[in-house]
Amino acid sequence: MTTPIATSLRDLIEGGPPPAGRFGPYGGRYVPETLMEILIELERRSVELLADEGFLAELAGELRDFVGRPTPLTAAGSLGEAWGVALFLKREDLCHTGAHKINNAVGQALIARRLGAKRIVAETGAGQHGVATAAAAARVGLPCTIFMGAVDARRQAPNLERMRLLGAEVRLVEAGDQTLRAAIDEAFRAWVADPVGTYYLLGSVVGPHPYPWLVRRLQTVIGEEAREQVVRAGGLPDVAVACVGGGSNSIGLFRGFLADEGVELLGIEAGGRGGEGDPHSASLARGTTGVLHGAMTPLLQDAHGQIVETHSIAPGLDYPGVGPEHALLRDLGRARYESVTDREALEALRECSAAEGILPALESAHALAGAKRWAGRNRGGRVVVGLSGRGDKDLAVLADGAHHV
């Protein structure tokens, strides 16, 4: 008998784990046999815990008292006036540790403790997931090891030090491309070596099932809050915009508006430098379907299935794949995906900083650049942008590398 899979918008709106972990042709579990039972048990226990009133009360308390939720929805009057739209920023940059990553990290850390894990391992690119995991692990009293590419460590030195101050062991990855993909590879290896005692706290809606669903479930709080807040401020938006690397902040925002047919969902990928043949990270726009890190999804790969060089000025977007739910949303036509260049993101970052007194992360600046482009075509519209993180972490990049763009 064929196992059913999530193939329609109704399937996605229902919100439970997709049957067999499949979002249409995407997703699934492509992992060593040693991990299969671990993942099946993680799905079973996660479904139980996320329906348990006691666990949900504990999670809600941590989100309120430790993370600082709800985060505000800030009306960006000056920037909106310049763009000719009513502009609202969902302020995940105001979460504890400075980005949306902490929503997922706290939730999974609580699950890890309930599962009896002895330690946590995680990967990080921009460093925000690493910082969030280190903080969450400390909060629940578990040791953690963070794998970070050597290139990203140089680009994000402040976050490297923050992780260490929060008690994490940070292992720099010198192999491969020395960025997020290589860090995930090493975290997977550590997990496979001790799948029972180790909990892998994956940071985005990628990887084998149930991670794309589990991370989405923990990030849905973004969209739920944003919808309530923007309706209170005058009505539903015309568009919700967020940056897309692996895609957790964007899927979290989009989930709040998924059932609202009149709200466009716009994801913004990293277009890199923008020249013909230049490396980029636009997996949805220019990728082909393959398997990476345990899931089938659009990838940036060559004709032989080898991952090609990627690039983004934003470390958190520098990844050759994307969450499988995004791929299905694209195929169904419910979400649309564009890319912006490094230069466009930098311009949007500077414009937002000067106009609103808010320094966004380079990742979030991609979403702002995409929103500005949308505004140019839709004067008078209402726009919600997911401001996924703050830009303090990017000051070295802005000072030393931006002039090369």
Phi, psi dihedrals of residue 304, rounded to the nearest 5°:
-100, 5
Phi, psi dihedrals of residue 256, rounded to the nearest 5°:
-65, -25
3-state secondary structure of 98: coil
CB 98 within 8 Å of CB 389: yes
Residue 340: CB atoms within 10 Å: 26
Phi, psi dihedrals of residue 183, rounded to the nearest 5°:
-65, -40
The CA R_g of the chain, rounded to the nearest whole Å, is: 19
Contacts of 107 (CB under 8 A, 6+ apart): 59, 217, 218
Catalytic residue among 204, 248, 281, 388: 388
Residue 53: CB atoms within 10 Å: 7
Give the residue from 291, 225, 295, 269 showing the smallest Cα distance to 367. Answer: 269
- Which single residue is written with the structure tokens 């949805």? 284
Catalytic residue among 43, 123, 325, 338: 123
DSSP 251-299: HHHHHTTTT-TTSEEEEEEE-TT-STT---B-HHHH-EEEEETTEEEEE
Catalytic residue list contains 101:
yes
Task: For strands 264-270 and 288-292, give the pairing.
Answer: unpaired
Catalytic residue among 101, 225, 338, 393: 101
- Which single residue is written with the structure tokens 């059932």? 259
Residue 81: CB atoms within 10 Å: 12
Rounded to an integer, what distance in angstroms lies between the CA atom of residue 299 and that of residue 283?
Answer: 5
Catalytic residue list contains 393:
no
Residue 333: CB atoms within 10 Å: 8
CB 93 within 8 Å of CB 360: yes
Catalytic residue list contains 388:
yes
Residues recognised as catalytic: 101, 123, 388
